[in-house]
Amino acid sequence: MKFVDEALITVQAGHGGNGVVSFRREKFVPRGGPDGGDGGRGGSIYLVGEEGLGTLVDFRSRTVFRAPHGRSGAGANRTGASGEDLTIPVPPGTLVHDLGMDLLLGEITAHGERLLVARGGDGGFGNTHYKSSVDRAPRRSTPGKPGEERRLRLELRLLADVGLLGFPNAGKSSLLARLSRAHPKIADYPFTTLTPQLGVAEEAGRRWVVADVPGLVRGAAEGAGLGLRFLNHLRRTRLLLHVVDVSSDENDILERVRAIVAELEAFDPALAAKPRWFVANKIDLLPPEEARARSARLAVACADHARLFTVSALTGEGLPELAGAVGEALAHLPTPVPPGRDAPSVTPLS
């Protein structure tokens, strides 16, 4: 299935039904009085989290959603039927933006979570509603109110605890496959990973989700390469693992490390400020003494970061230590607050 992480849709809630003017007319019942019923309420539209979905591709073929209108009232004080609410399934991690008002309405973060995005219109009043001591035979009613219409931008951010980042061919996909149950495409050429990949890792009874995004290159913040648009998926992570190919030219290693840091800061300083560990990968391609020496020099160059691990995603060397440290750290790292949760909600969509 094609991975799509943005979509534009239009939602139109149902209009309320009209109230009616009617009078009770029965034999031997003089002055029966008004009995016009109210109109039914229009259907509202909700987005609901669906665990089995991992992409917004369904919104490429359907972009307009309308809920049913309410029915008009009738005589004998009969209220019109209300329109059924419409629910639209979306993947957990979907942010919902109102384009017309230029604000974030909310985010779907879990299976079954619902977000009201368009409220149905109220039904109009029938003439029974206007009966009073001074007007026993009112001849007025009100029409139903229109349902809300909104133009929405849906933005999917994958929900993961740990994010992998680095240059192409650093071994992120191999590391993801080793740490988790994922089966990403792995090959010896740049940009093997074209879309974000998720995997579930388990260690000492702990389970955590790992996300791998396409590799970054120099100038990503200006649009070079593939990875920049996918960095949004790392904003919800709690820990970043910066994967480095330690078998490449040593001078190039440090340049690439600095380049990744610069691209993160240019994209989002908050993302660059997340806890980030270095993972020196591909030590199997070096003699043991050289691998240890390079890792030590890299650790000195990256002294401002908490941890550095030397691993081989191919042979599995060093991975138990890395997985154990990640599981222990996640037990203490806070879960990021979903974007917009602290922002004022849009009335009446609370």
Give the predicted TM-score (pTM) of the model: 0.73
Contact 35, 41 (CB under 8 A): no
DSSP 188-247: SSTT---S-EEEEEEETTEEEEEEE-PPP-TTGGGT-SSSGGGGGGGTT-SEEEEEEETT
List pLDDT tens digits, range 49-108. Answer: 998 888 898 898 899 999 999 999 999 999 999 999 999 999 998 999 999 999 999 999
Report the distance separating Cα 155 and Cα 153, nearest Å. 6
Which amino acid appears at position 122 of this protein? D
Report the distance separating Cα 329 and Cα 131, nearest Å. 68
Average pLDDT over residues 234-259: 85
Is residue 187's pLDDT more than 50? no
What is the structure's pLDDT at 350? Answer: 33
Is residue 310's pLDDT more than 60? yes
| Omega prior to 348 cis, within 30 of 0 | yes
pLDDT tier at 253 (50, 70, 90 boundaries)?
confident
- Cα torsion through 291, 296, 301, 302, rounded to 10: 90
List pLDDT tens digits, range 143-164. Answer: 999 999 999 999 988 778 899 9
Average pLDDT over residues 172-194: 66
List pLDDT tens digits, range 318-344. Answer: 999 999 999 999 988 887 665 544 433
Contact 162, 276 (CB under 8 A): no
Residues pairing with 165 in the sheet = 242
Average pLDDT over residues 297-307: 70
Q: What is the mean pLDDT of the chain?
A: 84
Domains assigned to the chain:
1-156 (2.70.210.12), 162-330 (3.40.50.300)
What is the structure's pLDDT at 221? Answer: 47
Percentage of the residues of the chain whose pLDDT score is greater than 90: 42
What CA–CA distances, in Å, run from 297 to 271, 289, 303?
Answer: 26, 12, 10
* 3-state class percentages of the chain: helix first, strand second, coil last, to nearest 5: 20, 25, 55
pLDDT tier at 212 (50, 70, 90 boundaries)?
confident
**Burial per residue of 275-302, b for 16 or more beta-carbon CB atoms within 10 angstroms, e otherwise:** ebbbbbbbbeebeeeebeebbeebbeeb
pLDDT tier at 207 (50, 70, 90 boundaries)?
confident
Of residues 335 and 222, which shows the higher confidence score? 335
What is the structure's pLDDT at 344? Answer: 34
